[in-house]
Amino acid sequence: QMNRPAQAAAAAHTFFVANPGHQEMRQNLEYYQAMVGVREDDFTDLEVKPHLSEFRLGVRFYTEEQPAAAILHLEKALEEYFVADTECRALCEGPYDYEGYNYLEYNADLFQAITDHSMQVLSCKQGCVTELASQPGQEKPLEDFLPSHFNYLQFAYYNNGNYEKAIECAKTYLLFFPRDEVMNQNLAYYTAVLGENLARPIQPREEIQVYHQRSLMEKELLFFSYDVFGIPFVDPDTWTPEEVIPKRLREKQKVERETAARISEEIGNLMKEIETLVEEKAKESADMSKFIREGGPLVYEGASVTMNSKALNGSQRVVVDGLLSAEECRELQRLSNAAASAGDGYRGKTSPHTPSETFYGVTVLKALKLGQEGKVPLHSAYLYYNVTDKVRHMMESYFRLEVPLHFSYSHLVCRTAIDEKQEGRSDNSHEVHVDNCILNAEALVCVKEPPAYTFRDYSAILYLNGDFEGGAFYFTELDAKTETAEVQPQCGRAVGFSSGLENPHGVKAVTKGQRCAIALWFTLDPRHSERERVQADDLVKMLFGMEEGDLELET
């Protein structure tokens, strides 16, 4: 009403962030977006916490595989976190809050009053963990918020080739979760690469050691007062060691948990018969839907399904032949040998998966840029671009997806056997893994959390040749040992599958010759679409003067 649309847009955006279901405010935002004089950067969150803003940026760059930018923002997030933490803790140092007591009715001697006030201040300071991890519009705070910074950072530093900082961040994370199996494995790997002598002196970050020790001392006092004086305390952290809690209180909590578990078990037993019937019916429907959902048209003439999920002894799996001609396969293989660089995508490591093979790769954008510069045939780079889109459309159609797939990463790669390193070889070309979670084969679980690319939903490999020995693609059970299906590569053959724990897979050793393929990962979430692909789309439009719809027709 005061004709200040930029400020109105910021206020509306701030309200909408905290209340994303508010339809009227959504309409207001759409109105402001259409107004003349309102810019994109006017839609800012006026109540954003600097440490949360930097953390979200860091995580975004991490998921976009930009480790340098992720490190910059995550380190800044930590700085802002401790500024906010200091301020939050200082605000706890106030007068005693009687919490419902009338001042005149509060009856305590000097020692009790001191105890009540001290414990209230400490409990408030511990509550800063929750305060700093809370986001507008979200019911629950981010769990293990501070430790998670170092989980992201250790992997970002590793991806950036800085093993000293990766070790420092891994050791810092282990202050909170010393038995974390994955982090201990990461630390062992970083130590092996850097060398024991250089890795041993590296310590967890000093300010985190101080924070950790102070927090433990506060928790000990609060749990003691809970046990002895009955002053309630709800621990905001999941990492608190059991020994910090007094034995009597631990036993009391154990009894409470056992009682709750027994009640739950009794209710569960009453419902067991009904649930079993429901599960059986649901399983029958699910088994049917897996096959019903698959089997859509392949879109392209000459393409045919060679093996479906049933033939591959799993779900959401398919092998398709006829996606490329022999000449197209040869052209793409020549492109790979001309444009690919050693260890591309693995910080230049020539043999990232096994010392018995070399690994060369090139992305779509890099190939197009080399074509633009005249260093490789532009037609070949354009073929590479079109072929990846062809596979994407085929996957969308065959798996009957209701929303489009977005590229997460595309890589034309060749694995070449090193002749003198084949004798006595027992490893794989690529060990069994899952594309969107961390596989723990011993425990038969797959943990869907970073550093895994949790946003990947579908995967595909398009083979360019079969004139080599070994190199078969294979699916396994979660134990990574029980093989369920094997696919022999050949020109124009693609294997497509969902990226989750239902499809552990690996590549057997290439023992002679060169194995070339285009590896593709897709996401259903447009927020995680590959930035390089957008740049590649723009470059193709510039080079060939086509609009997006025309590009799709070329595939």
CA-to-CA distance for 495 and 406, rounded, in angstroms? 18
Mark out the alpha helices in 244-325 (DSSP H runs).
247-293
Six token digits for residue 47: 């109540």
CA-to-CA distance for 433 and 359, rounded, in angstroms? 18
Q: Write phi, then psi, for 518 (nearest 5 degrees).
A: -105, 115
Q: Give the strand pairing for 473-476 and 505-507.
A: antiparallel
Six token digits for residue 310: 């049933």
Looking at 317, 392, 456, 515, which residue is catalytic?
515
Cβ contact 513:469 at 8 Å? yes
Six token digits for residue 275: 């649930």
CA-to-CA distance for 135 and 55, rounded, in angstroms? 12
- Angle value at C-alpha 182, between 176 and 187, nearest 5 degrees: 75
520: DSSP letter: E
Place of tokens 């995680």: 528
Which residues neighbour 506 within 8 Å (Cβ) at sequence distance 6 or greater?
428, 429, 430, 431, 432, 433, 473, 474, 476, 480
Q: Write phi, then psi, for 380 (nearest 5 degrees).
A: -70, -40
Q: Give the strand pairing for 445-447 and 505-507.
A: unpaired
Residue 200 is among the residues annotated as catalytic for this protein: no
Cβ contact 460:391 at 8 Å? yes
Mark out the alpha helices in 294-308 (DSSP H runs).
none
Which residues neighbour 233 within 8 Å (Cβ) at sequence distance 6 or greater?
119, 123, 126, 222, 223, 225, 226
Q: Which residues are catalytic?
A: 515
